[in-house]
Structure formats: structure tokens, C-alpha cells
Amino acid sequence: MTPWIAALIALFIWWFSTGTILMAVKYADRAGERARRTTTWAALPLMGLGAYGTFWSMTQTDIMGIYVAFLSALALWGWIELAFLTGVITGPNRRALPPHRPEWERFIRAWGTLAYHEILLAGTLIALGLALWHAPNPFAFYTFAVLFFARISAKLNLFFGVPRINVDFLPEALAHLPSHFRIANMNWLFPISVTALTFAAACWLERLYAAETAGAITGFALLTALTALAALEHWVMVLPIPDERLWRWMLPAPKPTKNTTPQGGHHGL
């Protein structure tokens, strides 16, 4: 399998899995809080499949093992994100930010909206690192690590301020979240974030060209594509790229609401 095919598969999986989660959340959101919780717990086997796939693939270095590791990491990540978007696992703070608060308080309140979710992500990353650091196939850990650090970077950029923030896909359970975002022309972290992601993609690409086995070539192609997509998602925060059109056609029509939050750009989830 050529690296280009693996990269295209990574692109499709990113698009399809994101759309599937958004669709499940939106339909559950329209049905109310009980439906959101039911959707989250009904999807819990996804977490089990991810854990089993990670365990099975850790000794498998062929192409099949690499894909199972990649998909397993996405399954673990996907359930945690679903639990966040449905409001089941978020943080202790579920209120909008009051106006005119100092920066230190804004940061503490923003952390409070995400705390349990971030702790679960960090705990999963640590568990994967301990299990796979010396494993023949560590690609589940690598995949989760790319998603983790890219998401932390995106959330920090939303906190410090970016020009384009799209809250169209935010469910009712997270209606308070945009109050912690900031609209700004630029922040000091953004250049560091895109530089770091570009450098990481280049490092994966270098490993790709140095790889000698089909499994390693596939794995590093997947990681290169995933990291490049993470960098693109950062650029969407500042460039007029209507990325929401990739998934809007999959989702039910939104309920009419009195939403005064600025529109356009990256969904930042």
C-alpha cells in the first residue's frame, strides 16, 4: 500500500468519524438531556473496542496491525469526545462566564468547563504511553498523542483569541462554552502552534521516508496526514475557510435560537 493511499484513508476516517459524532450528538441534543446520556452510554462499547484493539495490535507490526492501532486510538478518542459533546463528561463549571472578569479568573472558569474531560484524555494518554512505549507497534499511542496535543493547542488558541470561531456545531449542553472564547486578530500562541504542528508533520514525513517495512510506512503516512490535518484546523481559525460545510449536510436542521455568539470558522471542539 502506498503512503498516498494511507493518507487518503486517514483523511476519510477523520471526516467520517467527525461527522458521525456530530450527527449522533445533534440528534441526541434535539431529543433532550436523557437522550444525550443514553447516546453516550450506548456508545461505551466503542471504548472497549478501542482498548481491545490497542492491546491486540501492540505486537502486530504488519499493515493490518497498524490500521487496527490507528482505528483503536480513534475509537478511544471518539468516545471521550462524544461524552464531552453530550455534556456527560465536561467539568464542574456549567455556567457562562460573567462579563468583565480578570484574566486569571477567566482561565480558572474556562478550565472548570473542561476539567473532567481533559483529565480523562490525559489519563488515557498516560495509560497508552505506559502500555505501548516499548511495544513493537506503538502507533495507537502516537495517534492519540497527536490528537491530544493538537486539541490542547486548539483550545488554548480559542482561549487567547482567534479571528474565526464557529459555534454552529456546539450542542445545547455546551451552550456556556463560547463565553470563554475570545475573538482577536492574533495571539502569541498561534505561530508557535502551527510551527510545532508543521515541524511534527515534517518529522513523521522523515520517518516515513526512512521506514523499511510496509507497516511502518503505513503508520507514518497515517500520522503525517493526521498531523497535517491538525495544522490545517488551526489555520481555519484565522483564514476564511468554511470547513463547517464538510459536515453540515449530514446534520439535522438546527433549532431556531437567539444565538449572539460570533459565527464562522473553526468549530474548536
Measured CA to CA in angstroms, residue 254 lies from 34, 37, 145, 183 at distances of 19, 20, 33, 23
d(CA 170, CA 259): 11
Neighbours of 134 (CB within 10 A): 8
203 CB neighbour count, 10 Å cutoff: 14
As given in the structure block, the three cell numbers for residue 253 are: 436542521
CB atoms within 10 A of CB 40: 21
**Residue 9 Cα distances to 2, 207, 223, angstroms:** 11, 19, 11
pLDDT of residue 262: 43
Strands (E), the chain: none
For residue 150, give the nearest of 221, 228, 62, 56 by alpha carbon: 228
CA 252 to chain centre: 22
DSSP class of residue 252 equals P
Alpha carbons within 13 A on the beta-carbon side of 226: 30
Q: What is the pLDDT of residue 260?
A: 41
For residues 107 and 155, what is the distance between their CA atoms, to the nearest angstrom?
12
State how far the Cα of 237 lies from the Cα of 163, in Å rounded to an integer. Answer: 6
If one counts every other C-beta atom within 10 angstroms of the C-beta of residue 179, the result is 17
The β-bridge partners of 266 are: 165
Q: What is the reported pLDDT for 40?
A: 97
pTM, entire model: 0.92
Quote the pLDDT of residue 241: 83
192 Cβ neighbours under 8 A, 6+ residues apart: none
Report the pLDDT value the prediction gives residue 80, as an integer from 0 to 100.
Answer: 98
Nearest CA to 173 among 28, 46, 18? 28
Domain boundaries, the chain: 3-248
* Ranges of residues in the chain whose predicted pLDDT is under 70: 1, 253-269
pLDDT score recorded for residue 247: 84
Mean pLDDT score of the chain: 91
